[in-house]
Amino acid sequence: MAIVDAKNLGRNFGPFHAVDGINFSIQEGECYGFLGPNGAGKTTTVRMVQGLLPRSSGDLTVFGMDIDRRPDGIKSQLGVVSQENNLDRDLTVRQNLITYARYFDMPTDEAKKRADELLSFLQLDAKKNDRLSTISGGMQRRLAIARALINNPRLLLLDEPTTGLDPQARHLIWRRLTSLKKQGITMILTTHYMEEAERLCDRVAIMNTGKILIEGRPAQLVAEIIGEEVTELHIDEDNRQQALNRVRELDVNYEMYGDTIYIYNNGRRVMPSVLEIGHRSVLHRKATLEDLFLKLAGRTLVDG
Amino acid sequence: MRKRIVRGFRMWQRNVDVFKSHYMASIVGNIGEPVLYLFGFGAGLGALVKQAGGVSYMEFIAPGMMAAAAMNAAAFECTFGAYTRMAEQKVYEGILATPMAVEDIVLGEILWGATKGLMSSLIMLAILVLFGLFDKFAEIPLIIVNMAALGVAISALTLCVTAVSGSYETFNYFFTMFLTPMMLFTGIYFPADRFPSWFSSLFLFFPTVHAVNINRYLFHGGSVTMPLLGAAFMVFFIPFGVWLSTRMIKKRLIPAP
């Protein structure tokens, strides 16, 4: 049975279709990522799964239950880290967890024990009696993750869990999420960091203007659409048109953004000819999800 | 139903936990204000006004000031306090990711607003006792019920305002157009019959005047007609207010398609 199953799911805000008839199905233990620019409909989708936004159309079941009919049954098994910080700023770090546990009807002793376990799992022990205003953004995000885990959720919703954090804080969160994944928790993740999606997600859906453009395993999608390798050719402004004409003659797939031409796959075959084109620098590397994203962006994605 | 009450109590408990960390400031305000008002109005105005409604001016304003304390505390809590939690800190949104529903949050906020109202009015009562302005100790249970009911009614009413507020400034409308008139024209500081009857009648649609009438009756006795009417009003107004405020807050937090 699918943990989350959406059929033709849609949500309007007045005349605006924030989510426009999407289908997806998430299996137990899977980490599923929604990627896309701002305004693509990722957060709206997550909020519908969470029962915070009623849908306009379609069907949505979580753990096999309809969120409109059984919000309690679903929410008691759900952990949510929202995009906007909604920790309780009037309480200390540890109080945040204990108070939150109460909303799940957890007995106080158990809540305290669980809170201390989670504080140590997310390396917040030293800060447990601090007020929220005195801890860093990275720590607050870790606390939000700890809070989302207080009820031992079966499904964890993470809406941009590392946006705005420094690389160190981000890596710490990635490590923790990886270890949760190993424990078998099903996760839904939204992000616009392709590296994050590549590391964590078993499957991704790339969204734009409320629709899912493509869906699949990150490595497979990249291999199918981009290929194995990418050559980046950095060129000077005055050389742009000439370089572009030369690349066209090579009969390869390419995209151009600003002062960089991305040549997809077969880079090795044409490498000698590429190197003859006037350039500032050249980079030959493995293709990533970011290439896929940018390629789709070149065609269809618009930043909302 | 039992679940709803338990969960409403969880929201209330959250507010109590926060209150515990800064209760001194709150209590100092609660004691300071009434003393200043009693002294200012009672001694200042009382020197000019020898008698009102058959008792000394200080005695006249005592029951009304208790109601005013409950009304103000509940109104502030459920406007500025609730708005901060809802719109600024997104506390409600965090709570809605748990099995708690909007109904539980609203119920907890109303109970908390009423609790603060009751605390303020009881501190006021203690001060009245100290000033020798109250000695009807047998009436205290009914006075508590009356003040709690006023707190619930005002909390529900003000949460409706909070539900449609876009910023803290919006509350100026409410305070100027509703709360201040309810302080001035409901018989707290001077008998309400000084004003044209059509004007006084307008206030009968809001809870404050009824709580003032009931309190005055419990303090000084007199005709029981208006206090009974007031009690009947409260019995209808409270469930309606709870229903309406829940509906309005829900509309704001969980926008329908």
**Residues A32 and A57: beta-carbon distance below 8 Å:** no
**Residues A142 and A123: beta-carbon distance below 8 Å:** yes
Closest CA in chain A for residue B102: A52
Strands A78-81 and A155-159: parallel
Q: Which residues contact A198 (CB under 8 A, 6 or more apart)?
A: A218, A219, A288, A289
Q: Mean per-residue pLDDT for B145-172?
A: 96
CA of B106 to nearest chain A CA: how many angstroms apart? Answer: 14
Tens digit of each residue's pLDDT (9 = 90 or more) over B44-65: 888 888 787 788 888 899 999 9
Alpha-carbon distance B9 to B15, whole Å?
Answer: 10
Q: What is the DSSP string of B141-197?
A: HHHHHHHHHHHHHHHHHHHHHHHT-SSGGGHHHHIIIIIHHHHHSSSSSS-GGGS-H
Alpha-carbon distance B129 to A300, whole Å?
Answer: 75
Of A11, A86, A100, the CB nearest to B93: A86
3-class SS shares of chain A: helix, strand, coil, % to 5: 40, 30, 30
Contact across the interface for A86 and B256, Cβ inside 8 Å = no
Closest CA to A45 of A62, A70, A28: A62
Q: Buried b vs exposed e over B200-219: b needs ≥16 C-beta within 10 Å?
A: beebbebbbbbbbbbbbbbb
**Chain A residues closer than 8 Å to B6 by CB:** 105
Alpha-carbon distance B100 to B84, whole Å?
Answer: 19
**Reported ipTM:** 0.89
Contact across the interface for A91 and B95, Cβ inside 8 Å = no
SS3 category, A83: coil
Contact across the interface for B89 and A86, Cβ inside 8 Å = yes
Tens digit of each residue's pLDDT (9 = 90 or more) over B77-90: 999 999 999 999 99
pLDDT band at A303 (very low <50, low <70, confident <90, very high): very low
A47 part of contact set with chain B, CB < 8 Å? no
Of A72, A82, A105, the CB nearest to B93: A82
Closest CA in chain B for residue A13: B257
**pLDDT over threshold 80, residue B147:** yes
CA of A11 to nearest chain B CA: how many angstroms apart? Answer: 7
CA of A47 to nearest chain B CA: how many angstroms apart? Answer: 10
Bridge partners (DSSP) of residue A232 are: A262, A283
Q: What is the pLDDT of residue A300?
A: 53
Contact across the interface for B99 and A13, Cβ inside 8 Å = no
Bridge partners (DSSP) of residue A181 are: none
Helices A240-249 and A267-276 meet at what angle, rounded to 10? 140
CA of B69 to nearest chain A CA: how many angstroms apart? Answer: 25
Contact across the interface for A85 and B93, Cβ inside 8 Å = no
Written in H, E and C, the secondary structure of A27-38 is CCCCEEEEECCC
Alpha-carbon distance A68 to A59, whole Å?
Answer: 10
**pLDDT over threshold 80, residue B134:** yes
Alpha-carbon distance B160 to B247, whole Å?
Answer: 9
